[in-house]
Amino acid sequence: MQKLKLAVLISGSGSNLQAIIDACADEDFPARVMCVISNRPDAHGLKRARDAGISAHIVDHKVYDSRADFEEVLDDTLNHYDLDLICLAGFMRILGAGFIGKWENQILNTHPSLLPKFGGEGMYGEHVHRAVLDAGESESGATIHFVIPDVDKGPIVLQRSVPVLEGDSIETLSARVIEQEHIAYPEAIAKIARERLEKP
Ligand code: GRF
């Protein structure tokens, strides 16, 4: 069976990476993870990759004098693999237009709100859930979208919503949202794989 070849980029826990690894364990799932790259040497997700027998690389952004140098090494590392899709999964670096341009329509990201609401520069992690609670929203959720230079503005692949409950805290809301991210990311990868692998 033809499978979409993935790279997964992480910065931390890697629970979204784990969801993708677990989905790929099903031989009928139309994708496989070729490599994992972390910009943080201490990312727990690196252990998840190694435990799954997946090539794991560290490209530590702190080592490079500029974003351009960091992205050049990141690009070189990715080019060791014959990839179809780069999945940002808790990857906390903003990628520049030059890098994105080399991987046009090949970079996915997960965002913990129903974009276009509560997205954009500075809207990541807890800041998103805080803003949703402060705005008194009745629902939030997870968005999987293509990455373009304009942060969080790329085409949406799919979304999964959750209710915002009375008395929700950042912790309770983020736990409910990330649970849906773990379902949405594999679903989005499968959707793209079906569209791209079945094309004549
Ligand atoms: C996810 O909620 C993602 O939306 C945000 O950071 C979290 C990453 O979690 N960017 P993990 O590293 O995949 O566990």
> pLDDT tens-digit profile of 163-180?
999 999 999 999 999 999
- Taking the centre of ligand 1 as the mean of its atom positions, its distance from the CA of residue 36, in whole angstroms, is 15
Average pLDDT over residues 123-141: 97
Average pLDDT over residues 100-126: 97
DSSP H/E element including 142 = strand 139-146
Please indicate whether residue 110, judged by its CB atom, sits closer than 6 Å to ligand 1: yes
> pLDDT tens-digit profile of 1-10?
899 999 999 9
Residue 118 has pLDDT above 70, yes or no: yes
What tokens does 18 get?
């784990």
- Taking the centre of ligand 1 as the mean of its atom positions, its distance from the CA of residue 89, in whole angstroms, is 6
Average pLDDT over residues 177-190: 98
Percent of the chain past pLDDT 90, that is, above it, reads 98
Residue 199, pLDDT score: 67
Q: Whose CA is nearest to atom 5 of ligand 1?
A: 90
Is 200 exposed, middle or buried, given 0-12, 13-18 or 19+ CB atoms closer than 10 A?
A: exposed
Tell me the C-alpha distance between 183 and 142, whole Å: 9
Please indicate whether residue 15, judged by its CB atom, sits closer than 6 Å to ligand 1: yes
Residue 103 has pLDDT above 70, yes or no: yes
Q: Is the peptide bond before 186 cis (omega within 30 degrees of 0)?
A: no
Q: Whose CA is nearest to atom 6 of ligand 1?
A: 90
**Active-site residues: which are they?**
111
Percent of the chain past pLDDT 70, that is, above it, reads 99
Please indicate whether residue 172, judged by its CB atom, sits closer than 6 Å to ligand 1: no
Q: What average pLDDT is seen over the chain? A: 97
Residue 198, pLDDT score: 78
Give backbone dihedrals phi and psi of 80, rounded to 5 degrees, phi first: -70, -15
Residue 200 has pLDDT above 90, yes or no: no
Please indicate whether residue 181, judged by its CB atom, sits closer than 6 Å to ligand 1: yes
Please indicate whether residue 178, judged by its CB atom, sits closer than 6 Å to ligand 1: yes
Residue 17 has pLDDT above 90, yes or no: yes
Exposure b/e, 52-72, CB count within 10 A at least 16 = b: bebebbebebeebeebeebbe
- Taking the centre of ligand 1 as the mean of its atom positions, its distance from the CA of residue 198, in whole angstroms, is 30
- Taking the centre of ligand 1 as the mean of its atom positions, its distance from the CA of residue 37, in whole angstroms, is 15
Average pLDDT over residues 29-46: 98
Please indicate whether residue 16, judged by its CB atom, sits closer than 6 Å to ligand 1: yes
Give the nearest ligand 1 atom to 16 CA: 13
Average pLDDT over residues 80-104: 97
